[in-house]
Structures are given as C-alpha cells and as structure tokens.
C-alpha cells in the first residue's frame, strides 16, 4: 500500500495528510505508518505542519507505457513482456524461477524483461551482493532464448556491455571503459555491472538471462555497503536521464545487437569493444576462482574473435575464458611505484 502512496507523492509537491487518506481510503494513522515505511526505503521526505508531506525530490517511477512508447515499433514487436515491480528479491532470481517452473516460455527470438525499483537480495558476479536502493538506479533482467549452444554465447556478455556503453555515450555520458568481460567503468569506478546466467540445454536450446544494474542517481547513504568504488550517471554527466527513456533505449539497442550477434557472432563487435577496453596494454592480475589468494599476472592484449581475453604472460599470449581482472599498480622503469 505504501507504494500507492509513493505514486501520489512522486511529483515532489506537498500533499496534505487528509487528501492522501481520502484518495487511498485509509485513516490518517495509516498514512503516517506508510510514511515511515517510505522513509525506510531510503527516500527523504519532508513533513510540514499545515502543508502535508513532500518528497525532497520528484521520483521518476518506471512506467510500462512510457517505456514501450520510447521503443521504435519495429523493435517493440520483439518484446514479449515487460514486468515492473516496486520491490523484488532479485529480477534475475525471479526470472530464473519463472523459466525453471515453465511459467514463462520464451517465444522465438523475443525478449522478456523484468525490472524493479528496489531489490532486497540483488546479486552480483562471483556471489557478491548488488546493493539496490529504491527508485534511483536501474535493475533489470532480460531473458532471451538461443538455439546455438553455449560456445557461441561466449562474446555475448561483451556485446551487452557494448550496447549499454553505446546508449550512454549517445546520452552524453562520456569517458566510459569496459573491464573484461563486462564491467562498465568510469575513472576505474563501477558504473554498471552485468550478470549473465543460463538455463536449459547448454549444447542446444538455452535461455540466457542478462541481469543489469546501472547506477543513475544513487544516494550515497543507501550505497554505503557497496564494497567497491562506484559512480553514477549524475556524477559523470551532471544530469539525471529519464529512466523510462533510458531503459527503452537500452532495450532497443540490445534487440538490434543481439540479433546481429546471433547472425554473425562477436567478431563484428570486436574492434568497437576494444576501443572501450579499460585495461588494454595494462599489467593485470587475473583470478579465475573466487577467493583465490593470487592470480595469473600478465599484460592485456585485447580479446579474440570469440571475446575471450588475451593475456601476455611469461608463457606467451594465453587465452582465458573467465575470471576477474584487477589492474596492477603502474610502475616506473626502476620497477617502483610512482609517489
């Protein structure tokens, strides 16, 4: 019920307790209780005697119609369904459950999309949590069926990262880099993360779930638990994009790029991906297992035609298919770190 109240308050203007109670047909005490639940979502509210309640800034909540109308008609037909939740444990867990229980059957090459204003158990790569406060960022999962088997899907997550970067660049969010395979960074801080999961038959018909978290206008207080340097679009570009338009643009770009990828693989995207490679030519450490104390050292030499990582190690140029990269501190000619 407090989400209904939130919709009434989303315009950022004052609303009297009486008007809110009448509209929702509840008592003033219920409104007061709902207000405290809105506080618990991490949203700032002002209450002024004689004027009522007001959010400290307007909220641009997800809206089905606004998303659809911002996707060109020829691409819109490729969307099977968009489900919007105010709060969910995780858009990826929810979508996975729908697929495994066969409540959701993907139709041909169409996309199923699930998005949430808040996730209570958002998941990142390598078992990390993805902190997902209400209303200011994007958390969504896209599911799509493939019948090519997993080996073809290797470069897929790199293509998804590229789709997001293309859209952000068009929206004046410049200076982005991609850390292999698919972390989107700005000045070494994380702007967006992608979690790719697969169900079905890995050698035949499979369903791929693409979970995307993108920081837009994150309230630092609600992000205090994030365990890595992070950044949001507002900090980079100085403005906050309309979230419904932005997600529509990302979905449209994804639909085009996924179809192209299915037809021709990663190779057509390789050069463009490498233009955004955040660590190209850098000395790095690659950890292929979670909690591995030390990883493989080498220099990033780009990616191959399938999107696998090429590292110059002491054995020569080696190819890697998974893992987590971290840059090594830059050293001067004497091998010392600059002060």
Question: Which positions are annotated as active-site residues?
Answer: 125, 190, 328
Q: Which x/- pattern, by CB under 6 A, does the window 225-264 give for ligand BTN?
A: ----------------------------------------
Q: Is 52 in the site for ligand BTN (CB under 6 A)?
A: no
Q: Is 193 in the site for ligand BTN (CB under 6 A)?
A: yes
Residue 241: both structure tokens together: 């994009």
Are 303 and 273 within 8 A, CB to CB?
yes
Is residue 30 helix, strand or coil? helix
Q: Which of residues 161-190 bind ligand BTN (CB under 6 A)?
A: 183
Q: Which stretch binds ligand BTN (CB under 6 A): 58-66, 211-219, 242-250, 302-310?
A: 211-219
Residue 75: both structure tokens together: 């691409």
232/226 Cα distance (integer angstroms): 13
| Strand segments (E) across the chain | 45-48, 52-55, 79-88, 111-119, 138-146, 176-179, 183-186, 189-200, 206-214, 283-287, 296-303, 309-313, 316-320, 324-327
Q: Which x/- pattern, by CB under 6 A, does the window 56-95 give for ligand BTN?
A: ----------------------------------xxx---
Q: Which stretch binds ligand BTN (CB under 6 A): 6-14, 162-170, 191-199, 237-245?
A: 191-199
Q: Which stretch binds ligand BTN (CB under 6 A): 44-52, 137-145, 242-250, 271-279?
A: 137-145
Are 215 and 185 within 8 A, CB to CB?
no
**Closest among 312, 249, 268, 269 to 158, alpha carbons compared:** 269
Q: How crowded is the C-beta side of 105, counted as CA atoms within 13 Å? A: 2
Nearer to ligand BTN, 124 or 307 (CB): 124
Q: Which of residues 111-130 bind ligand BTN (CB under 6 A)?
A: 119, 122-125, 128, 130
Figure out which of the listed residues 99, 131, 212, 254 binds ligand BTN, where binding follows CB under 6 A.
212
Are 157 and 132 within 8 A, CB to CB?
no
- Which stretches of the chain bind ligand BTN, using CB under 6 A? 90-92, 119, 122-125, 128, 130, 139-141, 183, 193-195, 211-213
């Amino acid at each position: 019920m407090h989400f209904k109240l939130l919709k009434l308050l989303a315009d950022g203007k004052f609303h009297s307790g009486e008007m809110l109670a009448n509209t929702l047909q509840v008592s003033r005490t219920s409104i007061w209780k709902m207000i405290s639940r809105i506080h618990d979502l991490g949203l700032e509210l002002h209450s002024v005697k004689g004027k009522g309640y007001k959010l400290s800034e307007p909220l641009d909540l997800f809206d089905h119609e606004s998303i659809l109308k911002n996707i060109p008609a020829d691409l819109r037909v490729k969307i099977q369904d968009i489900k919007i939740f105010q709060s969910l444990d995780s858009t990826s867990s929810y979508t996975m459950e729908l697929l495994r229980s066969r409540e959701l059957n993907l139709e041909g090459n169409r996309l199923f999309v699930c998005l949430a204003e808040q996730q209570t158990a958002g998941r990142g790569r390598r078992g990390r949590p993805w902190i997902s406060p209400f209303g200011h960022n994007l958390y969504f999962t896209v599911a799509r069926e493939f019948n090519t088997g997993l080996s073809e899907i290797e470069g897929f997550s790199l293509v998804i990262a590229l789709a997001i970067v293309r859209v952000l660049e068009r929206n004046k969010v410049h200076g982005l880099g991609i850390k292999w395979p698919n972390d989107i960074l700005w000045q070494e801080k994380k702007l967006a993360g992608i979690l790719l999961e697969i169900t079905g038959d890995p050698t035949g018909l499979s369903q791929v779930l693409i979970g995307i978290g993108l920081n837009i206008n994150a309230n630092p207080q609600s992000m205090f638990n994030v365990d890595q340097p992070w950044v949001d679009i507002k900090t980079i570009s100085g403005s906050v994009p309309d979230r419904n338009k932005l997600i529509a643009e990302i979905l449209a770009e994804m639909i085009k790029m996924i179809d192209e990828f299915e037809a021709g693989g990663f190779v057509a995207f390789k050069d463009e991906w490498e233009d955004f490679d955040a660590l190209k030519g850098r000395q790095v450490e690659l950890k292929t297992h979670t909690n591995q104390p030390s990883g493989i050292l080498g220099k990033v030499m780009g990616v191959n035609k399938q999107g696998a990582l090429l590292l110059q190690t002491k054995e020569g140029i080696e190819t890697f298919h998974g893992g987590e990269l971290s840059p090594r501190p830059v050293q001067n000619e004497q091998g010392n770190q600059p002060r």
